Each structure stands twice: as C-alpha cells, then as structure tokens.
Structure 1
Amino acid sequence: MLVLSLWLCAALLPQVLSCPDACSSCSGPEDILCEACRAGWTLHHGTCVDIDECGTELATCPSDSYCFNTEGSYACRGCDRSCVGCMGSGPARCKKCASGFRLTGTKCLDIDECAERILPCSDFDELCTNVEGSFRCDCAEGFRRKNHVCVKEQQPSAEEKGLLEDITNEEVEVLQQMFFGVVLCALATLAAKGDMVFTSIFMGAVAAMAGYWLSDRGGRYLDSLLRGR
C-alpha cells in the first residue's frame, strides 16, 4: 500500500510542476491544458492569455506618465519633458506640449527663445543662451552680476595704480644705485678730459654718495642695536 502511494505521488508531481507559467493549475504541461490562470492572465480556450491592463480600467497611472503593458501586469513610465500628458514615449506621443515647446509637425520641439524674441533678456549687458524648454541670461564679458543686474568690472587705471606701486623697497634701492652709478660714470668721463668744473662735480657726487651710503648703513646699524639684533 505504501509503495502504491509513493508511485502515485511520483506520477502526479511532474504534472503539477510542469504547468505553464501563466497557469495556476493545469491538466498537463501544454498551454491548452490550463484550468486556471494567475493574476494578470485570463483563460481563453484552455490557454492563459495576458490581459492588456493599459486598454482597460485596471491600469491607473499619474497624468505625467503613460501605461506600458508587461506580461501579467503593467508599468507606468514618465512622459517626455516636452509633454503635458502623453500616450507613449517620446515627443511625438504628447497630448499637449509643455511650456517652452511647440508642436512642429507631429512632435513637440524646443522653442529657441533667443532667436524668436527681440529682447529676450531685460538688460542690454546680458547675453541670451537657449536651453531645452527655456533660456537663460548671462552677463557679457567684462561684466558681473550684482543685485540682479550686470555691472561693468572696474579695472584700475594707470593713474590710480601708479607707475611704481608694485615695486618693492629693495627694487627701489637698486634703481637708485643704478641711476647714481650712471651719473657718476658720465661725470668721471668728463672729468678725465681735464675739465675742472666736471672734476669738481664728480668729486662732490662721490662724496655725496659716500655720505649717503655711510649714513644709510649707520642708520640701519643703529636701528639693529636698538632692536637688539
């Protein structure tokens, strides 16, 4: 008796496991032997047929999406950004064109506001750049946005900046030494010719340079002593 029961179970088990995927119960492995169908399918002449929920009231999708049928169910997919409501994917399936788009032929295409409007930007110092569905206004070169308007960037003039503004103290000292060196060379050349006037001027310049150098070095030395260096 136990052997007979096991034989019957072994004979029935393959039939249960070999039903088509859409069948919840069947009398055999063939598609036409379905007795009941899973959710999303309907029985038609012994075969489970997919229900197209998108063509019935079973599907409920938001207004900014469309229904896409799948085997045994459905999915809601987003409309193209050019659409306000749609019946499928892409700009050719729009129910209505979104703002910034226009129906051109069978598609909702982007409007180039920069080319269509006389003054798309309110400020004369702004440049229009078209973007999908809209446009933006950027400040022209040499301008920057301040308090929602474009203002010209101020560049320091030569008078405001000064010719020697960026020169350091060390560079000024070198320039001074070069200048006095050129003057001394010119005076020495004239003094070598025996002209007593230029010889006197040359000697006076040398004495002035020596005095300036000694006083400058002495001042620095004294300053170092007072600071304890």
Structure 2
Amino acid sequence: MLHDHRCIDIDECGTEMAHCRANQFCVNTEGSYECRDCSTACIGCMGAGPARCKKCNKGYRRDGAKCLDVDECASMEEPVCSGVHEVCENTDGAYRCVCAEGHVRRDGECIEDKPPESPPKGFFDDVTDDEVVVLQQMFFGVVICALATLAAKGDMVFTAIFIGAVAAMAGYWLSDRGDRVLDGFMKGR
C-alpha cells in the first residue's frame, strides 16, 4: 500500500483479507501472511501456544490463561485400564493402556513375556560332545570285536581290517584327547 509516497506492508491478519482455517491463526509477513496451526491443546486460537487458546480441546483443562493436559490416569476414581496386567500411560491430551513391565500384548491381552516353551528333551540332548566321542569309540570297539571274530576264522581281509582298526583305536586312546575323554567319562561328566 502506498502511504506518503512510500510502500508499507498491509497487515492482512488485521483485515478480512486473511483466510485461515478454523484451527489456525494468522501471522503477518512482509507483503503477505501465513496460516499456522493452533496448539493441540486448543480449539481455535489467537496465536501460538496453549496460552492463546479460545477454548481448550478434549483432554485439556484451563488453568488461568493456559490449557493444560489432563492426567486421565491420576484423575479417574476407577482404574482407566481394567485389563489384567495393564497400566495407564498419560499422553498429551489423552492416555493409553499399555502392558505392565515384563508383559507383552498378544491377542488383545497382556501376558507374561517369556520365551515359548521348548519341546521335551530327548534321551541324548544332555550328552556332551566328549561323551559322543566315547560312545562312538565303544561302537567302534564292538565292530572290532566282530571283525576279530571273523579274523580268528582265518579270513585275511578281515584280519587286515582288524589290525588297522586296533592300531587306530590304540592311537586315539593314547592321545591327550582320549585321556581327557576317558577321564571325564569315568568321573561321570
């Protein structure tokens, strides 16, 4: 606008030229204006923040000039969250029901957060690796006995297999690992 041969800014917010939505307020800028959203605490406002509300939104209450959050969890006589293992958590302008610590929501209910039950243990589940080695050697020993029986009957192929197996078995049992395995197995570990 021209005033005394100078251009001056028109405050559109002070005139009917500004068109902001119901839950917005007008901010004058150089040569124009902006519409900004009111605080979530407000229904209609005259500026920024919860102290400029025309009316307080649901979940807020007026305290002097400001609209402050209502703590629904503390203000209700009856518990807001009535589910088993549920607790109330206040949020800005509302609340939500969450599961208590150590619980998770499954199928709409709060249940204890624990790992799923494992299937029953089998007979060999508690067997250690060293015990498996001993069991393998015992099986190997049974095979050697069977081969020795055949070798005693004079079959040269089985006699050669028997001598090789005995040598392998002796090498294993004389090794350090064989000593540890045998010692642990004898002590029941």
- Post-superposition Cα deviations, 1:178-226, rounded to whole Å, max 9, x if no partner, equal xxxxxxxxxxxxxxxxxxxxxxxxxxxxxxxxxxx8677315998xxxx
Query: Match of 1:15?
Result: none
> Of the candidates 63, 77, 82, which is equivalent to residue 36 of structure 2?
77
Over the residues paired in the alignment, what is the CA RMSD in angstroms?
3.5
Q: What's the % identity of the aligned pairs?
A: 45
Secondary structure at the counterpart of residue 102 of structure 1: strand
Equivalent-residue separation in structure 2 for 1:130 and 1:80 (angstroms): 18
Q: Aligned letter for 1:119?
A: P
Q: TM-score, normalised by structure 1?
A: 0.51
Query: Match of 1:94?
Result: 53
Equivalent-residue separation in structure 2 for 1:221 and 1:105 (angstroms): 98
> Of the candidates 115, 119, 141, which is equivalent to residue 217 of structure 1?
141
Gaps of 5+ in 1: 1-41, 177-212, 223-229
- Matching of residues 1-229 of structure 1 within 5 Å: 42-117=1-76, 118-153=78-113, 168-170=126-128, 173=131, 217-218=141-142
Gaps of 5+ in 2: 147-189
- Post-superposition Cα deviations, 1:101-139, rounded to whole Å, max 9, x if no partner, equal 111111111111111123111214111111111112111
Q: TM-score, normalised by structure 2?
A: 0.61
Q: Higher RCO, 1 or 2 (CA under 8 Å, sep at least 6)? A: 2
- Kept in 1, the 8 Å contact 2:84–2:109? The answer is no
The change in CA–CA distance for 1:221 and 1:70 in structure 2 (over 3 A counts) is farther
- Between structure 1 and structure 2, the one with the greater Rg is 1
The change in CA–CA distance for 1:148 and 1:163 in structure 2 (over 3 A counts) is closer
Q: Aligned letter for 1:74?
A: Y
- How many pairs does the alignment contain? 143
